[in-house]
């Protein structure tokens, strides 16, 4: 398929196997790991699909995250341009100053300390599922609420408002709607966050927003807007991504009984298994976007100032130059630096939390329900082809 | 061991000005790397010459901002 006006081929999106990257993306990577493509919005840009080339792009200071077009939406219009504390729409050196304010709350040690609370949340949800009896939709009863509870606890979101946060998070991640709907969800989120910040200022607790309010802030950057932007980014990102990985990861493991048996026989494989799930599923299915702020070069290809570039992390994680026999799902692989969390200064700040959540979730789920199985064949599942993060819309299971 | 031998042994160097606190080093080699109270990389005392360790060798590649390097002397 080619675009009538430019001739650049459309970026592949259709998947004949729901657990593998889109058909044709491997061919593009082999022929030209940096190539021109036409995106959902109808606009043309650079598409980077090779592992080394994606890494080179994401660490190159000649590229900005403040892109002119939202290539993966229908109308291509950029709606969200949050400021300080958001991390998403910030370049260096300001981005690293703000990221460091937040990073100290997300260290490996601090995230490890959350294990007992995460285990409790997982256990409570599995207790309820057991009491209810199968079949159940694992997305609705488990994959969505668990990360939502974990991050809401971390941020001190009151129990009665958690459902609303989850609803907004989902609305903001759709790409099959018009600009007005995304903006409306953003407005609702802003209102909720403003309330949350004011409450924490009045009554500080042991949550992350209270910690930021009282943190050492020599440059005086942490104001209400900073707190709302930071909380917005972290809450939305933590809800949707981990939920997608839980639903899709459970589906994949249930579809590959040999791999699941290995994990059951040797639970110490859980760390490796989660890294392989992250690599294999790399749910940021459309990749990260950048724009050249000066003339640059990626993989020997000249990118002119002002041109937009897409780092296709999913294609990169299936590059045979990175990993041997990439289409083989193998939880015994030695972990390698996959790009599921991105690369460069914008690499996911919540990745250590995500890892721990996923390790606890999969270890506990398959231990508590040793006979767990899909209640619907994989071919009949609805996959999130229309969302920023790939996953399953529902996952009926029984035991 | 004379000075020349010491100088040629592989050494781990961390650049705290580049560090963004992603924690990849701690994840790969927790016996060598740590994060301070600000989340930034630190070498645990006495491990500057642990560069031969396989997990430590993974770190320069895993660090998203090239804050960890291993010099081969």
pLDDT digits (tens, 9 = 90+) for A367-397: 999 999 999 999 999 999 988 899 999 999 9
- Provide the percentage of residues in chain B whose pLDDT is more than 70: 88
Q: What is the pLDDT, as a whole number, of residue A161? A: 86
SS3 label, residue A146? helix
Q: Which of A355, A82, A351, A67 is nearest to A231 (CA)?
A: A82
Q: Is A100 on the interface with B (CB under 8 A)?
A: yes
Give me the residue from B24, B35, B66 closest to A109, CB to CB.
Answer: B35
Task: For residue A121, give Cα distances in angstroms to A115, A116, A126, A128.
Answer: 10, 9, 9, 11
Q: How many CB atoms lie within 10 A of CB A317?
A: 22
Q: Could you tell me whether strands A288-292 and B11-14 are parallel, antiparallel, or unpaired per DSSP bridges? A: unpaired
Q: What is the pLDDT, as a whole number, of residue A80? A: 74
Looking at chain B, the number of H-run helices and the number of E-run strands are: 3, 4
Q: Is A383 on the interface with B (CB under 8 A)?
A: no
Paired strand residues for A35 = A47
Residue A124 host element (H or E): helix A115-132
Domain residue limits, chain A:
25-398
On the question of a cis peptide bond just before residue A48, with omega within 30 degrees of 0, the verdict is: no
To 10 degrees, what angle do helices A224-255 and A351-368 make? 40
Number of Cβ pairs < 8 A linking chain A and chain B: 59
**Does B30 contact A349 at a Cβ distance shorter than 8 Å?**
no
The whole-number average pLDDT for the span A122-132 is 98
Q: Is A342 on the interface with B (CB under 8 A)?
A: yes
Looking at chain A, the number of H-run helices and the number of E-run strands are: 15, 10
Confidence of residue B46 (pLDDT cuts 50, 70, 90): confident
CA of A351 vs chain B CAs: smallest distance (Å): 8
SS3 label, residue A24? coil
In chain B, residues with a C-beta closer than 8 Å to the C-beta of A345 are: 20, 64-65
The whole-number average pLDDT for the span A224-243 is 90
Q: What is the pLDDT, as a whole number, of residue A274? A: 98
In chain A, residues with a C-beta closer than 8 Å to the C-beta of B23 are: 106-108, 351-352
pLDDT in tens, A202-227: 999 989 999 999 888 888 889 999 99
Distance CA A301, CA A297 (A): 5
Cα radius of gyration rounded to whole Å, chain B: 12
Average pLDDT value for chain A: 93
Q: What is the pLDDT, as a whole number, of residue A175? A: 65
Residue in B closest to A95 by C-alpha: B20
**Does B58 contact A337 at a Cβ distance shorter than 8 Å?**
yes
Confidence of residue A169 (pLDDT cuts 50, 70, 90): confident
Distance CA A276, CA A83 (A): 34
Question: Rounded to 5, what percent of chain A is helix, strand, coil?
Answer: 50, 10, 40
State the sign of the Cα–Cα–Cα–Cα dihedral A246, A164, A341, A15.
positive
Point out the least confidently predicted range of A88-102, A270-284, B43-57: B43-57
Q: What is the CATH number of domain A25-398?
A: 1.10.630.10
Residue B11 belongs to a domain with what CATH number?
A: 3.30.70.20
Q: What is the pLDDT, as a whole number, of residue A283? A: 97
Distance CA A116, CA A120 (A): 6
Residue in B closest to A60 by C-alpha: B65
Q: What is the pLDDT, as a whole number, of residue A174? A: 67
Q: Which of A216, A198, A290, A252 is nearest to A366 (CA)?
A: A252
Range of the domain at B61: 3-71
* pLDDT value at A82 more than 60: yes
The whole-number average pLDDT for the span A63-69 is 95
pLDDT in tens, A347-373: 999 999 999 999 999 999 999 999 999
In chain A, residues with a C-beta closer than 8 Å to the C-beta of B26 are: 107-109
Phi and psi at residue A247, in whole multiples of 5°? -65, -50
Query: Is pLDDT larger for residue A59 or for residue A236?
Result: A59
Q: What is the pLDDT, as a whole number, of residue A133? A: 95
- Cα-Cα-Cα-Cα dihedral of A139, A144, A149, A154, to 10°? 140
Q: How many CB atoms lie within 10 A of CB A346?
A: 23
Give me the residue from A105, A344, A355 closest to B65, CB to CB.
Answer: A344
Confidence of residue A301 (pLDDT cuts 50, 70, 90): very high
Residues 124 through 153 of chain A touching chain B, CB cutoff 8 Å: none
SS3 label, residue A229? helix
Confidence of residue A6 (pLDDT cuts 50, 70, 90): low
SS3 label, residue A187? helix
Phi and psi at residue A177, in whole multiples of 5°? -130, 170
Distance CA A147, CA A364 (A): 15
SS3 label, residue A106? coil
**Does A100 contact B20 at a Cβ distance shorter than 8 Å?**
yes
Q: Which of A349, A351, A360 is nearest to A121 (CA)?
A: A360
DSSP output for A197-215: HHHHHHS--SSHHHHHHHS
pLDDT in tens, A26-47: 999 999 999 999 999 999 999 9
- Provide the percentage of residues in chain B whose pLDDT is more than 90: 64
Q: Which of A118, A145, A353 is nearest to A247 (CA)?
A: A145
Confidence of residue A173 (pLDDT cuts 50, 70, 90): low
Distance CA B25, CA A4 (A): 48
Q: What is the pLDDT, as a whole number, of residue B5? A: 44
Q: Could you tell me whether strands B33-35 and B41-43 are parallel, antiparallel, or unpaired per DSSP bridges? A: antiparallel
Beta strands in B1-73 (DSSP E): 11-14, 33-35, 41-43, 68-71
Our count of domains for chain B comes to 1
Task: For residue B49, give Cα distances in angstroms to A97, B69, B70, B71.
Answer: 31, 12, 10, 10
**Does A345 contact B64 at a Cβ distance shorter than 8 Å?**
yes
Best B16, B17, B18, B20 member to test A by mutation, with max A CBs in 10 Å, is B20
Task: For residue A93, give Cα distances in angstroms to A70, A90, A225.
Answer: 24, 9, 19
Q: What is the pLDDT, as a whole number, of residue B2? A: 42
* pLDDT value at B73 more than 80: no
């Amino acid at each position: 398929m080619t675009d009538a006006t430019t001739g650049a081929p459309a970026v592949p999106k259709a998947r004949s196997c729901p657990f593998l990257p889109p058909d044709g993306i491997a061919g593009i990577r082999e022929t030209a790991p940096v190539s021109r493509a036409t995106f959902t919005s109808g606009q043309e840009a650079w598409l980077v699909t090779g592992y080394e080339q994606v890494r080179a792009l994401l660490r190159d200071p000649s590229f900005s995250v403040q892109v002119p077009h939202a290539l993966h939406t229908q109308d291509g219009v950029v709606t969200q341009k949050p400021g300080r504390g958001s991390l998403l729409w910030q370049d260096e050196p300001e981005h690293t100053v703000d990221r460091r304010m937040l990073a100290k709350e997300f260290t490996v040690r601090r995230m490890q300390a959350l294990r007992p609370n995460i285990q409790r949340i997982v256990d409570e949800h599995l207790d309820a599922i057991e009491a209810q009896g199968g079949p159940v939709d694992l997305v609705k009863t488990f994959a969505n609420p668990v990360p939502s509870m974990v991050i809401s606890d971390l941020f001190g979101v009151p129990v009665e408002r958690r459902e609303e946060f989850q609803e907004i998070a989902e609305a903001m991640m759709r790409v099959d709607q018009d600009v007005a709907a995304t903006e409306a969800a953003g407005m609702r989120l802003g209102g909720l966050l403003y309330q949350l910040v004011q409450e924490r200022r009045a009554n500080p607790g042991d949550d992350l927003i209270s910690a930021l309010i009282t943190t050492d802030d020599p440059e005086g950057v942490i104001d209400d807007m900073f707190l709302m932007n930071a909380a917005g980014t972290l809450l939305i990102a933590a809800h949707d991504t981990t939920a997608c990985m839980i639903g899709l990861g459970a589906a994949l493991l249930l579809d590959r009984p040999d791999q699941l048996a290995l994990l059951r026989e040797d639970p110490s494989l859980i760390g490796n298994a989660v890294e392989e799930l992250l690599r294999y599923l790399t749910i940021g299915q459309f990749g990260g976007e950048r724009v050249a702020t000066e003339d640059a070069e990626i993989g020997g290809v000249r990118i002119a100032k002002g041109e937009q570039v897409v780092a296709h992390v999913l294609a990169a994680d299936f590059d045979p130059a990175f990993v041997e026999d990439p289409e083989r799902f193998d939880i015994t692989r030695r972990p390698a630096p996959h790009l599921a969390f991105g690369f460069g200064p914008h690499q996911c700040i919540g990745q250590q939390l995500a890892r721990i959540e996923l390790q606890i979730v999969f270890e506990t789920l398959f231990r508590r329900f040793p006979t767990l199985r899909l209640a619907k064949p994989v071919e009949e599942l609805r996959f999130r082809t229309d969302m920023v993060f790939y996953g399953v819309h529902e996952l009926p299971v029984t035991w | 061991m004379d000075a020349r031998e010491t100088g040629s042994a592989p050494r781990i160097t961390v650049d705290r000005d580049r560090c963004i606190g992603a924690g990849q080093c701690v994840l790969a080699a927790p016996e060598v790397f740590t994060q301070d109270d600000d989340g930034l990389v630190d070498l645990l005392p006495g491990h500057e010459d642990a560069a031969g360790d396989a997990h430590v060798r993974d770190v320069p590649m895993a660090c998203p901002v090239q804050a960890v390097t291993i010099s081969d002397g």
